């Protein structure tokens, strides 16, 4: 088995974020971290000469077509779309005889979708990754099938991915029930689903929402994510920067209220 260090350096030089793996398992922490430099790659592969290469799906996404004998054959799902021209892009054969089509990622339009079609997944999260050629898994090698550039996906393909990514809403009606004796905690739960209210009061509503969660000992990182969800449910939502600034302000206020010292 050869050292893949030179291949890893070439991927990095072409702007990809390289992740060394053992089989398919990452050998370094990579989530939300800057890409390895060529020097870091050289030092790492010197210690682990037989590591595989994976690339983070940051600037690109992957349509992963599975052909395992114990599941759906994804190639049939692709053929049934009747649009072979959509897949005229960089492609590799995986170690288990599947196919991976790599596309440039359209800004904010493609999201992760496991089970996009029978036997077909979309790998697109910026902290996801795919193993790439000439890595080997189970003594079988990944192999590039062409040298085409990654292309932007056809608009029709993007729309299909978006449509398949939408949650299925049940037509079942919920039982009628109007609880009494609402508490501030129940109002916080409702705000997550219903948003921050009219335009004029969004900032104050967000501050009260975040403050209420912090008062109830919710972790700050969770407060931020719940604030983002509530903001996303608001008709005229705030910018994410405004959300972060407001939540940080409320964290500092909560620290002062408790008489604690922030690190």
Q: What is the pLDDT along the chain (263 residues), one digit of tens a residue?
A: 789 999 999 999 999 999 999 999 999 988 888 999 999 999 999 999 999 999 999 999 999 999 876 667 999 999 999 999 999 999 999 999 999 999 999 877 888 888 899 999 999 988 899 999 999 999 899 999 999 999 999 999 999 998 887 766 666 777 888 888 889 999 899 999 899 988 778 999 999 999 999 999 999 999 999 999 999 888 888 888 899 999 999 999 999 998 876 54
DSSP string, 80-93: TTT-GGGG-S-EEE
Q: Please tell me whether residue 149 adopts helix, strand or coil conformation.
A: coil
* Domain residue extents for the chain: 5-165, 184-258
Joined together, the tokens standing for residue 221 give: 């990182």
Give the angle subtended at the CA of 58 by the CAs of 53 and 62, to the nearest 5°: 70
- 3 state SS of 228: helix
129 φ/ψ angles, rounded to the nearest 5 degrees: -160, 165
In this structure, what are the phi and psi dihedrals at residue 108, rounded to the nearest 5 degrees?
60, 25
How far is Cα 5 from Cα 2, in angstroms, rounded to an integer?
9
| 13 within 8 A of 38, measured Cβ to Cβ | yes
> Strand, helix or coil at 72?
coil
pLDDT on residue 153: 96
The pLDDT, as a whole number, for residue 69 is 60
Task: Determine how many CB atoms are found less than 10 A away from the CB of residue 229.
Answer: 13
């Amino acid at each position: 088995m050869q050292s893949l260090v030179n291949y890893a350096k070439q991927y990095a030089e072409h702007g990809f974020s390289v992740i060394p793996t053992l089989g398919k398992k990452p050998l370094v922490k990579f989530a939300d971290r800057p890409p390895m430099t060529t020097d870091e790659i050289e030092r790492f592969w010197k210690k682990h000469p037989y590591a595989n290469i994976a690339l983070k799906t940051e600037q690109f996404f992957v349509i992963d077509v599975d052909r395992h004998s114990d599941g759906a054959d994804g190639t049939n799902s692709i053929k049934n779309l009747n649009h072979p021209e959509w897949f005229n892009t960089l492609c590799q054969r995986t170690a288990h005889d599947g196919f991976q089509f790599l596309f440039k990622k359209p800004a904010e339009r493609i999201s992760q979708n496991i089970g996009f079609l029978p036997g077909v997944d979309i790998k697109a999260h910026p902290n996801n990754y795919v193993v790439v050629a000439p890595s080997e898994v189970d003594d079988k090698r990944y192999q590039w099938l062409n040298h085409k550039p990654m292309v932007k996906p056809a608009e029709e393909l993007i729309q299909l991915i978006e449509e398949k990514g939408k949650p299925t809403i049940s037509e079942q009606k919920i039982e009628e029930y109007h609880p009494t004796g609402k508490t501030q905690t129940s109002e916080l739960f409702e705000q997550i689903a219903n948003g921050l209210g009219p335009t004029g009061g969004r900032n104050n509503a967000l501050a009260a929402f975040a403050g209420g969660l912090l008062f109830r000992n919710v972790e700050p990182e969770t407060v931020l994510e719940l604030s983002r969800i509530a903001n996303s449910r608001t008709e005229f939502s705030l910018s994410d920067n405004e959300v972060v600034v407001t939540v940080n302000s409320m964290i500092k206020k909560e620290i002062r209220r408790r008489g604690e010292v922030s690190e």
